[in-house]
Amino acid sequence: MFELWSIDAIWISVAFLFGILAKRIKLPPLLGYLAGGFVLNYLGITQGGVALHMVADLGIMLLLFTIGLKLDIKSLMSKDVWLSTGIHMVLSVLAFSSLVFFISYLGIQNLSDISLKSSLLIGFALSFSSTVFAVKVLEDRGEMTSFHGNLSIAILIVQDIIAVIFLTVSKGELPNIWALGLPVYLFVIRYVLIWFLKFLDQSELLTLFGFLAAFVAGAFVFEYAGIKPDLGALIVGMLIGTDSRSKELSKHMLGFKDFFLIAFFLNIGLSGLPSINLLLVALVFVLFIPLKAALFMVILTRLNLRARTAWHSGLSLSNFSEFGLIVGVIGVKMGLISDQWLVVLALAMSFSFLLISPFNVKAHSLFEKFSPWLMKLNTKKKHPDDQPLDLGDAQVIICGMGHVGRAAYHQLTKDYPDRVIGIDYNRSVVDNLTSSNKNIMWGDSTDFNFWRNANMPDVEFVLVTMNDHASNYNTANALKNCSNRNIKIAAPGYTSNEHNNLKEAGVDYVYNYYSRAGTEFAASFLKFIGERNKSQQHKTQIPESFTD
């Protein structure tokens, strides 16, 4: 037992060191975990402790559970989602499987003499996009709730559901009799779990509840019914995701999900060492990444979405996926492909992250640069993601209607009654605030075309109050395209780097959260004490008529 845990200690240490190295050179840490696995393999450590093997399996379940928590089920019903996913996957499978079948005739050791069924399996694995990568990109840019963010996540979920169905079928066993009772069980367990969730505070019990919901209420029950447990974790997450506290639960589970996935990528790296031939084959697959992104753009614009939406979605979905590796692992277990193909898939995924990362970082500026050509993909019909262009007689615009934006809205409507308008790209936020008689419009303030085409002759001030620096910075940059050059811009910042970035982007006034918070807290407290003392003096003062 000591030896097994010693190996686990080595794995965790190597993962940490290589993760830091990847982060230092501005790459996703999971690439470091993969590299760490290859290094351990090279050192002869190919068998490991019980802990990390179990954690690797739990990581995928927890990933699906957290995705389910964030998922808007209605979005999956959209034609833009299921039709684009289906068309793209079919065309990708045909293209990549043809390429694999061709490579098998080149006589490369351990990669030759592959059957048509095996080629289709590898093509299927390469057709997926990385959920981990896309979610990280959207979170870093603050675009999880944007139109293209929701679209990308929905497409990823449909892909994940297809993968989980494949994993379930690959077991080679039909569900048992208990599977017939799952619909009733899911109906009941949803209300039970939401009832528990409502009175749990932000303690360790909330985290424990997340594990209970994912692994017991979801994975364990589905496994008992003879169905892949991953699907159970996803479905239970989707059921809880309708509750208002689902976002809070998702934040609590985020760190655990990331840690559990480390073991999965380490184990992939341990599956085999890359040779020159395997590296070359992986690079051939990576050459088709631009075509994968272009195919998404063409399909989405043909479904009447704007070129900008298709551009951002296509970039975030153009890589290869960790689910492709899971499919590859199943293929190895079924004897359809060799371990060497699994190494190729791991390398292809890693190289795709390397290739796509810089483009995603500069996605907004790149679209602005190439927009004259990309905008030609737009159809002439009205797009479902078109934005309002007439802002009426508004004098003040508030971009981002979160806690800060709503507070600013209430304050400014006192000084500019009926002349304040809020902009947000989260449709649920817009619908909720509109129903409470707030002057709110849906729109993406990070889109330079929004400001270029907006009719707002009376606007004097724009307050950028989104929850993340990336969105505030992108909005400030986009405002440079506004026809009204006299607009004054204000935005909040936390660090000196954020302050400098916002100033460079054209922000006139940067509100320093940290330096102002203490000052305003103290001032408010003293004002409260002064008003309280004044009130008490007024109550104890003896009327003059009583002193005569």
Q: What is the per-residue pLDDT across 499-511, written as a single tens digit (0 to 9) for each?
A: 888 888 888 898 8
- Inter-CA distances, 152 with 132, 159, 309, 424, 480, Å: 12, 11, 10, 18, 27
For residue 547, the model assigns a pLDDT of: 40
- In this prediction, residue 94 carries a pLDDT of 93
pLDDT of residue 124: 92
* 319: nearest Cα among 519, 189, 458, 130: 130
pLDDT of residue 292: 93
What does the pLDDT average to over 104-118? Answer: 72
Domains 2-377 and 396-528 belong to one CATH topology: no
**Cα–Cα nearest to 458, from 420, 508, 507:** 420
Judge residue 434's burial from the number of C-beta atoms within 10 Å of its C-beta, 0-12 exposed, 13-18 middle, 19 or more buried: middle
Cα angle, residue 445 at apex, residues 443 and 450 outer, rounded to 5°: 75
Q: What is the mean pLDDT of residues 98-103?
A: 84
Pairing of strands 396-399, 440-442: unpaired
Looking at per-residue pLDDT, the higher value among 45 and 151 belongs to 151
Angstrom distance (rounded) from CA 528 to CA 545: 31
pLDDT > 90? residue 93: yes
φ/ψ of 128, rounded to 5, equals: -80, 155
Crossing angle for the helix pair 79-103 and 289-302, nearest 10 degrees?
150
Average pLDDT over residues 287-308: 91
- pLDDT at 421 (0 to 100): 92
More confident residue, 230 or 475: 475
**For 268-272, 416-420, 442-446, which range has the lowest pLDDT when averaged over its residues?**
268-272
Query: Which stretch of 329-333, 370-374, 417-421 has the lowest confidence by average pLDDT?
Result: 329-333
- What digits encode the pLDDT tens for the residues 206-230? 888 888 988 899 889 988 888 878 7
- Domain residue limits, the chain: 2-377, 396-528
Query: pLDDT tens, 11-40?
Result: 778 878 888 888 787 776 777 887 887 787
Q: Which has more pLDDT, 499 or 515?
A: 499
Under DSSP, is residue 493 helix (H, G, I), strand (E, B) or coil?
strand
Mean pLDDT (the chain, rounded): 81
Q: What is the pLDDT of residue 289?
A: 92
- Residue 509, strand partner residues: 490
Lowest mean pLDDT among 161-165, 234-238, 366-370, 428-432: 161-165
Confidence of residue 250 (pLDDT cuts 50, 70, 90): confident
Q: What is the pLDDT of residues 32-50, one digit of tens each?
A: 887 887 787 777 766 655 5
The pLDDT-based confidence of 5 (bands split at 50, 70, 90) is low
- Token readout for 155 is 């497409």
The yes-or-no verdict on residue 89 having pLDDT over 90 is: yes
**pLDDT-based confidence at residue 548 (cuts at 50, 70, 90):** very low
Q: Which fold has domain 2-377?
A: Na+/H+ antiporter like fold (1.20.1530)
Q: What is the reported pLDDT for 545?
A: 44
Q: What is the CATH number of domain 396-528?
A: 3.40.50.720
Report pLDDT for 108.
66
Q: What is the mean pLDDT of residues 167-188?
A: 80
User: Are 133 and 353 spatial neighbours (Cβ–Cβ below 8 Å)?
Assistant: yes
- Report the percentage of the chain scoring pLDDT > 70: 86
Q: Is the model's pLDDT at 467 over the cut of 90?
A: no
- First-to-last CA distance in the chain? 93
Burial of 411 (0-12, 13-18, 19+ CB in 10 A): exposed
Q: What does the block give as tokens for 224?
A: 């008992």
pLDDT tens digit string along 122-131?
999 999 998 8
